[in-house]
Amino acid sequence: MRVYVAGNIVVDETWSIDELPQKGASIHGIKKSQDIGGKGANQAIIISRCGIDTRLIAATGHDIHGQWIRDRLQCENLPLVPENALADHSDTSIIFNSSDGDNAIITTQAAAEALALEVVLSHLSDASPGDILLQQGNFSVEKTRALFSWAKAHGLITVFNPSPVNPDFADLWPLVDVAVVNQHEAKLLQPSGVKTLVVTQGSAGAELFQPGQHLFCAATPVQAVDSTGAGDTFLAVLLASALLRGGEPDALALHHASAAAAITVSRTGTLNAFPTPDELTELLAIRL
């Protein structure tokens, strides 16, 4: 069994500034961190750290950032395909944090857009019935629909985390087996017909809806430092917990996911904040 994650991978740069600049202004700043980011990459890295055979299908660029991404992933047990760069520039998110707590983010998606449907399908050609296709909201509705349609036709289990959210994603629910959404996405997209639906509620916890079953799991208490990547950690561990036990998301998977997300929010950064393979092994051994 293998999890195929079709999505994006970016370089996250975080800068500390005194205040957000006015139009035409030049200001000083301090670069605080540089890390791998992107919802596709985040989720794939954590699933693979849980011991699941995982493949990340995401595009990088012909630039120093693309090489840095590929080199950085050598430390993970996670194949990145295509191996060759597809765009002029890798996708990047530049995060400005001002001293008064305000922030602004500039992000690109040219590389993700350069990942053609035919390229993604070529890297799914060895998938078997029962494998998983996981997507986020980084592709167009048309590409997302085409990939889920192919997956369903070939017996794969489809998992959808529609973030960044697009209202037209609401048309895709008949193609989705497992959906993980936050409260805003649930209200906007009205998931229906999905066998397993998980609605996250931030620091309150998460709800699981399945035919004949409704469960709630409170969030694991923790002193939050940085919530970046917490949702990706939650989804990845939720899925891995169920897969490792040969079943579907359940109360124990919610518990494992909550505990893993608590680790992430207790640390700063993105990749550097994620639970390590050893931490995940210990966490996933816990039984209720």
Provide CB contacts within 8 A for 266, sequence distance 6+: 222, 223, 224, 225, 273
Q: ω before 82 within 30° of 0 (cis)?
A: yes
Residue 211: CB atoms within 10 Å: 6
Q: Report the pLDDT value the prediction gives residue 21, as an integer from 0 to 100.
A: 86
Contact between 265 and 225 under an 8 Å Cβ cutoff? The reply is yes
Q: Report the pLDDT value the prediction gives residue 154, as an integer from 0 to 100.
A: 98
Q: Report the pLDDT value the prediction gives residue 187, as an integer from 0 to 100.
A: 96
In angstroms, the CA 254 to CA 288 distance is: 11
Q: Report the pLDDT value the prediction gives residue 214, as an integer from 0 to 100.
A: 96
In angstroms, the CA 264 to CA 174 distance is: 32
Strand order in the sheet with 80-81: 80-81, 54-57, 3-6, 132-136, 157-161, 178-182, 196-200, 205-210, 213-218
Q: Report the pLDDT value the prediction gives residue 105, as an integer from 0 to 100.
A: 80
In angstroms, the CA 26 to CA 217 distance is: 47
On the CB side of 10, CA atoms within 13 Å amount to 24
Question: What is the 3 state secondary structure string of the chain?
Answer: CCEEEECCCEEEEEEEECCCCCCCCCCCEEEEEEEEECHHHHHHHHHHHCCCCEEEECCCECCHHHHHHHHHHHHCCCCEECCCCCECCCEEEEEEEECCCCEEEEECCHHHHHCCHHHHHHCCCCCCCCCEEEEECCCCHHHHHHHHHHHHHCCCEEEEECCCCCHHHHHHHHHCCEEEEEHHHHHHHCCCCCCEEEEECHHHEEEEEECCEEEEEECCCCCCCCCCCHHHHHHHHHHHHHHHCCCCCCHHHHHHHHHHHHHHHCCCCCHHHCCCHHHHHHHHCCCC
Q: Report the pLDDT value the prediction gives residue 101, as an integer from 0 to 100.
A: 66
Mean pLDDT, consecutive 10-residue stretches, the chain (288 aa), reads: 96 88 90 90 98 97 94 94 93 85 80 95 98 96 98 98 96 98 96 95 95 95 86 97 96 98 89 95 93
Q: Report the pLDDT value the prediction gives residue 99, as an integer from 0 to 100.
A: 81
Query: For residue 16, what are the CA distances in angstroms to 27, 165, 269?
Result: 11, 28, 13
Residue 77's φ and ψ, nearest 5 degrees, are -85, 65
